[in-house]
Amino acid sequence: MSEDKIEIIKVFKGGSLSSTQLINHPIFNKCILKKVSNSSNREYGFVRFCSQIKRHSQLRSCEPKLFPEILEVGIDIESKQAYCIYKFMQEYISIFDFLNDEQISEIKLNKAATNLKVALQKLHKHEYKIPLVEGSLDFYFKEEMIRPLIEYENYLDINNKTFEGIKVESCRATVSKIYKFLKKLDKKETQKYCMIHGNATLENILINKRTLEISFIDVYDETYCDIPLSDYSQILQCSKYYYGVRMRQKKINEYESEYKLIDAGKNFKIFNEVIEKNLISNKNQALLLNLLTASQFTRLLPFRIKSNDMKNANYFYSLASWILTRK
């Protein structure tokens, strides 16, 4: 792919060491171009990039209407970059941006949330022919909750802090609580083992502003337990606990001690009410969903701490601690 033959129309916020652009291509016209280096940070960049392309193709083969078409992939030897070209979804925006539009009616918010649940149900109906591998849940929680809490506890400053008026527990106390919950969790209850998005944040779910149709992008195996509640825990991370809103706050009090959940406005609340309605049917599922949702914040700790973002590291741990106290 020759760089001098494309026109860059818009540059999007990058992620996972890749860049994303809306371009005008000589063959495909308007399309989305994603690029990543195939020589540096291969494990977190190129390998992830390849995994996303493969997973996207697999999921699209099951539900072609829910995923944009991949038009071309390739390697640019001279620039040492891999690229993938996706069909441009005209009139689509992320659900996160959709919810930030104060002009959206309550009727549209309800319809958008309903359409998202229907889209996920279509994806989740594609079940594997084998059961969830024994030990999968413990495997995930020990890696994405217990390991980072033990490894990074000395970096956090959470003494004498509260979240919504509840004392933030030490990492050790939270680890003990997680082990207790894992013992309480009924592992024999059948967990639907199926196709999932795997990285279902509100920024990775697109919605047509006019028709409210759903399209999924940036799939990945973030939770490596292919059960429906994994996808919903990532949605709740932003729709209920406002991860995306927090990350866009320009001014954060460096000396926060009495944390409060952000007021993201009525759109998020209305949308989330529909998402959570009839989502779980018993206490075991409620416990599993709470653990999965809290894990979306504990698994952020290594990245936030390594980037010296201690304000958000302390906040997200405190939020996870609070989630685990909720019944």
CATH number (domain holding residue 270): 3.90.1200
Asked if pLDDT for residue 16 goes beyond 90, the answer is no
Residue where a domain stops, chosen among 38, 64, 88? 88
- What does the pLDDT average to over 228-247? 97
Residue where a domain stops, chosen among 69, 88, 107? 88
- Please state the φ and ψ torsions of residue 80, each to the nearest 5 degrees: 55, 45
Residues 283 and 298 in one domain: yes
User: What pLDDT is recorded for position 14?
Assistant: 64
Residue where a domain stops, chosen among 88, 114, 135? 88
Residues 272 and 255 in one domain: yes
- What does the pLDDT average to over 212-221? 96
Q: Which domain holds residue 53?
A: 3-88
User: Are residues 312 and 152 in contact, defined by beta-carbon separation less than 8 angstroms?
Assistant: no
Give the model's confidence band at 155: pLDDT under 50 very low, under 70 low, under 90 confident, else very high.
very high
pLDDT tens-place string over residues 117-131: 999 999 999 999 999
Q: How many CB atoms lie within 10 A of CB 173?
A: 14
Residues 174 and 274 in one domain: yes
Residues 51 and 118 in one domain: no
How far is the first Cα of the chain from the last one, in angstroms, to the nearest whole number?
Answer: 54
Per-residue tokens: 253: 């009090």
User: What pLDDT is recorded for position 24?
Assistant: 96
Residue 44's CATH number: 3.30.200.20
User: What pLDDT is recorded for position 253?
Assistant: 75
Give the model's confidence band at 273: pLDDT under 50 very low, under 70 low, under 90 confident, else very high.
very high
Domains in the chain, number: 2
- Please state the φ and ψ torsions of residue 15, each to the nearest 5 degrees: -165, 150
Residues 284 and 194 in one domain: yes
Q: What is the mean pLDDT of the chain?
A: 93
User: What pLDDT is recorded for position 323?
Assistant: 97
Q: What percent of the chain has pLDDT over 70?
A: 97
Residues 151 and 50 in one domain: no
Residues 45 and 155 in one domain: no
Asked if pLDDT for residue 184 goes beyond 80, the answer is yes
Cβ-Cβ contacts under 8 Å for 243 (sequence gap 6 or more):
201, 237, 296, 297, 316
Residues 100 and 227 in one domain: yes
Give the model's confidence band at 69: pLDDT under 50 very low, under 70 low, under 90 confident, else very high.
very high
- What does the pLDDT average to over 292-319? 96
Asked if pLDDT for residue 260 goes beyond 80, the answer is yes
Give the model's confidence band at 327: pLDDT under 50 very low, under 70 low, under 90 confident, else very high.
low
Whether the model clears a pTM of 0.85, i.e. scores above it, the answer is: yes
- What does the pLDDT average to over 81-110? 96
Residues 174 and 285 in one domain: yes
Residues 140 and 170 in one domain: yes
Give the model's confidence band at 4: pLDDT under 50 very low, under 70 low, under 90 confident, else very high.
low
Tell me which of 6-10, 147-151, 230-234 is least confident.
Answer: 6-10
Give the model's confidence band at 187: pLDDT under 50 very low, under 70 low, under 90 confident, else very high.
confident
What value does the CA radius of gyration of the chain take, rounded to a whole number of Å? 20
Residues 135 and 175 in one domain: yes
Mean pLDDT comparison of 17-21, 56-60, 258-262, highest-scoring range: 56-60
Residues 222 and 260 in one domain: yes
